[in-house]
């Protein structure tokens, strides 16, 4: 028994911190492998280490109490069962009290003397033996407690390892490492945000028009649904991984407090009380059955003979308890050795599993890293290619600018250096582009807007007064429009002379020459985008009316007019509908041919339908279907929509467009403008009533008698910029 106790103490010492060359390294390896996670994976903290000492002590104490009760009950049951049978077999006279009762007085006196002389030393020896056994029980209990605690600790550790094993590779998809998944999502979200930010103008251009609001709602709903599906998918993967990693140990497979001491200790003390009750019942039964024998023994034997018998029974009980306790301790030691082997196997399996989980997480992180890096590189490459394309493309003819072309004077350098395009536009006539642009503006983004319409529709007049108004700062304060001085005289200086003719000489504009592609009027525009202001060049081409009405799409000038980012088509309300309807239909057909679109596919380009000279409608009479003057009502509604005439919002522009559409049905009866344009542009078109002169002095054609106060000049240009994805309106 002492060797068993010493073995128990030695094993407990090893487990609780003593030297061990096999157990401790494997245990720490299992703990580290359980805690280590793949790549950035970090396991949830397991909390402070559980102290199994009190639980083990409670279990040992309850086990000893139950064991004593069982031994006592068994001993009394055997004594109670043997007394009646022995009396029946041997009879009363064959027992020791019977023999003493039937013996002679001399024999009785001699026996009593011997018993009396040996009673006290025997009682002392039995008492000492009982105390020694009780002390040994205490030592064994103290030695067993750390063994049991170590058994619980190893069982809990093995349970954790098996739970980790039960999840398999599915645990790699769990959300236990929030930082890892947050980093992945943040990286992909950042890449997506950069891609959307880089292409925000193209996306807005694509979603513009009549379906823009529905597209924005659909985008918002789609983004919400995508986020919800992503969250639900990650939650499903986490639940799935959690369900796969959930492991319940079979009953009594591991010495865990949850399935061992917690249940059995709770039942130990009630079991011990029941055993004590059965022992008391057995004692009462035995006392009743042997009442006559005990009475004879009390009469014949010394008074302390009963105490001797109790001491002997106590010693026998403690000896039996020690024997059974030693077997229980030995069973725990054997189980502990078995757990050591199972721990080594489980820890090795967890190490292999964790390495695979690391590989999965590492592969996922590497794929994400490569994907995000490749996406960022792709975005950067596309931005560089776009700048290179812009830098090598002529804004006038859209042909490539030959490398090596430099300033004509040979002295300008740096940003002021002038690059000239020498592309051949018409080989038959030998016409070359000969457009020059300075190095500072060569790689800037740019938009091209041509003015189209029949002759004398007011295109040049509108462009000259728009040029004058923008130079004076006549644009909303939240945007910026600055004139870019042309590199040659054939550009904006002509509009300076036109403006002088209108404002000073009060003369109208002359016809635009269409022998070649007109040089554009260029402005540098900056929007009010809250996601990052954009700066670009706005090129406005003033094409002649003859180009719109008589030149086919085979001509390079007509093709260049179709290659634009939006169109300004002018309608003259003082002219009949037939020539203008033909010009608009030809424009639609040529545009479809240039874009190679079938009849059912819409254009993804905006069209500003500018109804010019609205001030001259006052001299004409148009009756409304319900009675009344349509022109007077038009002026009244126009003043009601915007009393100041200076508001520039989408609501104002839409209201003016609806009002002008109603007027067009009156002044051009039978011309179905709206169905024709809606079929081709699908909401990417709008009416713009305007006058370069003003609404004061309506109907007067002599400019010398008019006060120049233009109305609605910048609105078509601002709307075209808006439809190309730039933030213009508040």
Asked if 584 and 656 sit in the same domain, the reply is yes
Question: Which parts of the chain register pLDDT below 70?
Answer: 1-50, 79-104, 106-120, 122, 164-176, 208-216, 219, 234, 236-309, 403-415, 488-493, 506-508, 510-511, 599, 623, 625-627
**In the chain, how many domains are there?**
2
Contact 91, 179 (CB under 8 A): no
Residue 546 Cα distances to 42, 85, 461, 607, angstroms? 74, 140, 16, 20
* pTM of the shown model: 0.67
Interatomic CA distance for residues 520 and 543, integer angstroms: 10
Q: Which two tokens stand for residue 237?
A: 């993967």
Q: Is residue 664 domain-resident? A: yes
Q: Is residue 187 domain-resident? A: no
The sign of the torsion formed by the CA atoms of 17, 19, 21, 22 equals negative
Residue 581 CA to its chain's centroid (Å) = 54
| DSSP-assigned beta bridge partners for residue 449 | 540
Tokens 């034997």 sit at which residue?
301
Asked if 432 and 462 sit in the same domain, the reply is no
The sign of the torsion formed by the CA atoms of 355, 356, 357, 362 equals positive
Q: Is residue 701 domain-resident? A: yes
Q: Is residue 699 domain-resident? A: yes
Q: Is residue 175 domain-resident? A: no
Contact 139, 5 (CB under 8 A): yes
Asked if 511 and 647 sit in the same domain, the reply is yes
Asked if 457 and 430 sit in the same domain, the reply is no
Other beta carbons less than 10 A from residue 698's beta carbon: 17
Q: Is residue 25 domain-resident? A: no
Asked if 553 and 595 sit in the same domain, the reply is yes
Asked if 434 and 464 sit in the same domain, the reply is no
Asked if 422 and 509 sit in the same domain, the reply is no
pLDDT number for residue 651: 93
CATH number, domain of 602, equals 3.40.50.300
Mean confidence (pLDDT) of the chain:
76
Q: Which helix (H) or strand (E) holds 525?
A: strand 521-526
Asked if 700 and 567 sit in the same domain, the reply is yes
Q: Is residue 222 domain-resident? A: no
Asked if 451 and 424 sit in the same domain, the reply is no
By residue range, what is the domain housing residue 432? 392-443
Q: Is residue 576 domain-resident? A: yes
Of 443, 458, 479, which residue is a domain's last?
Answer: 443
Interatomic CA distance for residues 432 and 306, integer angstroms: 138
Asked if 611 and 691 sit in the same domain, the reply is yes
What is the per-residue pLDDT across 472-519, written as a single tens digit (0 to 9) for each?
Answer: 888 888 889 998 888 765 544 577 788 887 777 766 676 677 778 888
Asked if 543 and 402 sit in the same domain, the reply is no
Of 443, 460, 475, which residue is a domain's last?
Answer: 443
Asked if 454 and 500 sit in the same domain, the reply is yes
Of 401, 418, 443, which residue is a domain's last?
Answer: 443
């Amino acid at each position: 028994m002492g060797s068993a106790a010493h073995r128990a103490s030695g094993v407990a010492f090893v487990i609780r911190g003593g030297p061990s060359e096999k157990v401790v390294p494997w245990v720490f390896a299992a703990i580290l492998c359980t805690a280590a996670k793949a790549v950035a994976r970090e396991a949830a903290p397991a909390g402070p280490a559980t102290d199994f000492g009190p639980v083990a002590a409670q279990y040992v104490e309850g086990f000893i109490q139950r064991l004593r009760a069982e031994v006592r009950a068994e001993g009394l049951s055997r004594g109670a069962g043997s007394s009646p049978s022995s009396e029946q077999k041997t009879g009363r006279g064959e027992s020791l009290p019977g023999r003493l009762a039937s013996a002679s007085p001399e024999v009785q006196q001699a026996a009593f003397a011997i018993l009396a002389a040996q009673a006290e030393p025997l009682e002392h020896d039995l008492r000492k033996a009982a105390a020694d056994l009780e002390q040994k029980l205490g030592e064994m209990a103290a030695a067993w407690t750390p063994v049991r605690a170590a058994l619980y600790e190893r069982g809990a550790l093995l349970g954790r390892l098996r739970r980790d094993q039960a999840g398999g590779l599915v645990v790699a998809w769990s959300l236990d490492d929030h930082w890892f998944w947050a980093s992945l999502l943040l990286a992909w979200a950042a890449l997506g945000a950069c891609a959307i930010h880089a292409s925000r103008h193209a996306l807005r251009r694509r979603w513009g028009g009549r379906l823009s609001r529905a597209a924005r709602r659909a985008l918002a709903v789609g983004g919400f649904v995508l986020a919800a599906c992503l969250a639900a998918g990650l939650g499903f993967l986490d639940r799935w991984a959690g369900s796969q990693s959930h492991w319940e140990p079979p009953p009594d497979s591991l010495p865990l407090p949850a399935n061992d001491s917690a249940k059995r200790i709770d039942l130990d003390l009630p079991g011990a009380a029941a055993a004590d009750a059965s022992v008391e019942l057995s004692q009462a039964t035995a006392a009743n059955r042997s009442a006559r024998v005990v009475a004879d023994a009390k009469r014949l034997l010394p008074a302390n003979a009963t105490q001797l018998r109790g001491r002997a029974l106590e010693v026998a009980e403690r000896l039996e308890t020690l024997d059974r306790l030693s077997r229980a301790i030995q069973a725990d030691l054997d189980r502990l050795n078995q757990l050591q082997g199972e721990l080594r196997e489980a820890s090795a399996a967890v190490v292999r599993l964790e390495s695979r989980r690391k590989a999965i997480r590492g592969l996922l992180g590497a794929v994400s890293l490569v994907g995000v890096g490749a996406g960022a590189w792709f975005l950067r490459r596309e931005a560089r290619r776009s700048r290179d394309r812009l830098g090598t493309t002529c804004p006038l003819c859209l042909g490539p600018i030959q490398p090596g072309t430099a300033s004509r004077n040979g002295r300008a350098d740096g940003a002021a250096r002038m690059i000239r395009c020498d592309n051949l536009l018409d080989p038959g006539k030998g016409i070359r582009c000969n457009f020059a642009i300075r190095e500072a503006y060569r790689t800037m983004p740019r938009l091209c807007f041509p003015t189209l319409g029949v002759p004398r529709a007011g295109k040049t007049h509108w462009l000259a007064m728009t040029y004058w108004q923008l130079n004076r700062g006549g644009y909303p304060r939240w945007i910026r429009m600055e004139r870019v001085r042309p590199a040659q005289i054939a550009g904006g200086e002509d509009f300076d002379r036109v403006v002088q003719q209108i404002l000073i000489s009060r003369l109208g504009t002359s016809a635009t020459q269409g022998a070649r592609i007109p040089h554009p009027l260029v402005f540098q525009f900056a929007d009010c985008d809250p996601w990052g202001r954009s700066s670009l060049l706005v090129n406005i081409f003033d094409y002649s009316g003859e180009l719109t009405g008589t030149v086919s799409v085979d001509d390079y000038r007509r093709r260049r007019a179709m290659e634009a980012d939006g169109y300004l088509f002018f309608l003259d309300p003082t002219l009949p509908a037939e020539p203008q309807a033909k010009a608009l239909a030809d424009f639609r057909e040529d545009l479809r041919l240039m874009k190679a679109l079938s009849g059912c596919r819409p254009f993804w380009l905006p069209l500003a339908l500018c109804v010019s000279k609205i001030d001259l409608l006052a001299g004409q009479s148009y009756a409304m279907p319900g009675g009344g003057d349509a022109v007077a009502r038009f002026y009244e509604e126009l003043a009601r929509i915007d009393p100041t005439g200076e508001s520039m919002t989408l609501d104002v522009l839409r209201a003016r467009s609806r009002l002008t559409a109603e007027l067009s049905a009156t002044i051009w009866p039978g011309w179905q403008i709206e169905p024709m344009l809606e079929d081709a542009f699908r909401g990417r078109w709008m009416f713009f009533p305007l006058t370069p002169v003003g609404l004061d002095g309506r109907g007067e054609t002599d400019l010398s008698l008019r006060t120049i106060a233009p109305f609605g000049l910048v609105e078509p240009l601002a709307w075209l910029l808006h439809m190309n994805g730039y933030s213009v309106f508040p």
